[in-house]
Amino acid sequence: MSQASATFGIAPAVMGFVLVHATLRRDASELVQAAASESLTRRVALVDRVLGVHHRGEEDLLLPELVERQPGFVPTSVMIEEQHAQLDAAVDRLKRYARHGTTDERTAQADEVRRLLEEHLWTEEQRLLPVWQASFTAAELEEFGARLRWSTPLRDMSVIVPWLLEAAPPSFQQLAADHVSPPVRAVYRLWWRRRFQREYGFAAA
């Protein structure tokens, strides 16, 4: 367990979930600010990419595990998957508008993505997070975190790690740095950082 997670007594898997949500919130508000600018195309591509990875981790691992432990969680699990589908559709629409839409269409759609994302993150934090923490022991949370890491393909890690390290809100930057192990940070510095910045133009945005 990293120092920060140990300090706060929060399992790394839960800390990762909280970090991703905080960083998505920042991205969503920046999407709205970038709606009229050239950088919208790259910003929405990044949101699409990281949301896809986060949704997959929840749908393939976390939700089935919670449903198995808490059958009463089924309606919430269904609601979360529906929200994922709605968000994906809204992000796809924004990608199209980023290429061909008017400024009004881009601004309205970026705001719609922000609204749907906020509603979704709120749902998970209010209805999923407490059930997750109540259903797993500390050892099970450790084991789940390891399973999540091993099941994340390297090509997804190569985006998620730079995104967390560079896009986490200022008050989460230290937690993001502590969340990424030293060997993974070394890989980020040597290979992933440059490609991430080239692809998503993050440093220049």
How big is the site for Fe ion, counted in residues (CB under 5 A)?
Answer: 2
Q: How far is the CB of 84 from Fe ion (least distance, A)?
A: 6
Closer to Fe ion by Cβ: residue 39 or 83 = 83
Map the footprint of Fe ion across residues 57-96, applying CB under 5 A: 58
CB under 5 A: which stretch of 6-14, 105-113, 119-127, 156-164 binds Fe ion?
119-127
**The two structure tokens encoding residue 194:** 């440059």
* Whole-number Å distance between alpha carbons of 107 and 6: 41
Q: How far is the CB of 103 from Fe ion (least distance, A)?
A: 30
Binding mask 43-62 for Fe ion (x = CB under 5 A): ---------------x----
Plot region of 102 (φ>0 → left; ψ -120 to 50 → alpha; else → beta): beta
Q: How far apart are CA 119 and CA 25, in angstroms?
A: 11
CB of 148 to Fe ion, least distance (A): 12
Stretch that binds Fe ion, among 28-36, 116-124, 170-178, 193-201 (CB under 5 A): 116-124
Contact between 124 and Fe ion by CB under 5 A: the answer reads: yes
Residue nearer to Fe ion on the CB measure, 54 or 193: 54
Distances (CA, A) of 151 to 18, 40, 43, 57, 154: 19, 30, 26, 8, 9
144, 61 contact by CB (below 8 A): yes
What's the maximum distance between 2 C-alpha atoms anywhere in the chain? 52
State in angstroms the smallest separation of the CB of 57 from Fe ion. Answer: 8
- Site residues (CB under 5 A) for Fe ion? 58, 124
